[in-house]
């Protein structure tokens, strides 16, 4: 899939805008995500922290779960914005792998500048995917 500069920047801007709504009273590290599905719909997510730290949810998973709850399971691209262009955690990489290793991942900083572009496959080599659960025939 070829993304134009304008498409990249629009998703980064959407994620950066969503980032303002992050609930991060403990880490003060707001993350915003913007996911575009193959049908062309976009979903945003923010990280939501919790005093019981393991219950915190990442922005990437929030966006993915919102899309899935609307029946969308095929994704083109996700933009993730942090203040310094941080990369998705292992859990988010695994959830992204569930829905496609070819999904493009755009990492940007809080100024809206693209820091890195890759695919889920590049972020999670040798990923465990649904095909590993398929029964041998």
For the residues 62-85, what does the mean pLDDT come to?
98
Looking at domain 5-133, its CATH class is: alpha beta
Quick one: pLDDT band at residue 2, thresholds 50, 70, 90?
A: confident
The question of whether 60 is a catalytic residue gets the answer yes
Token digits of residue 10? 């629009």
pLDDT (tens digit per residue) in 16-61: 999 999 999 999 999 999 999 999 999 999 999 999 999 999 999 9
pLDDT (tens digit per residue) in 57-69: 999 999 999 999 9
Domain ranges (residues) in the chain: 5-133
Q: Of these residues, 60, 72, 74, 117, which one is catalytic?
A: 60
Predicted confidence at residue 70, as pLDDT, reads 98
Predicted confidence at residue 137, as pLDDT, reads 55
């Amino acid at each position: 899939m070829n993304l134009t500069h304008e498409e990249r920047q629009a998703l980064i801007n959407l994620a950066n805008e969503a980032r303002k709504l992050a609930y991060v009273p403990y880490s003060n590290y707001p993350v915003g995500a913007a996911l575009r599905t193959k049908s062309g719909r976009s979903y945003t997510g923010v990280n939501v922290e919790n005093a019981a730290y393991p219950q915190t949810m990442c922005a990437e998973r929030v966006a993915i779960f919102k899309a899935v709850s609307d029946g969308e399971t095929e994704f083109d691209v996700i933009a993730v914005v942090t203040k310094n262009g941080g990369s998705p955690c292992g859990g988010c990489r695994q959830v992204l792998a569930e829905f496609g290793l070819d999904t493009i991942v755009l990492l940007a900083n809080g100024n809206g500048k693209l820091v890195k572009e890759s695919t889920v496959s590049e972020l999670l080599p040798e990923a465990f995917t649904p095909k590993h659960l398929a029964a041998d025939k």
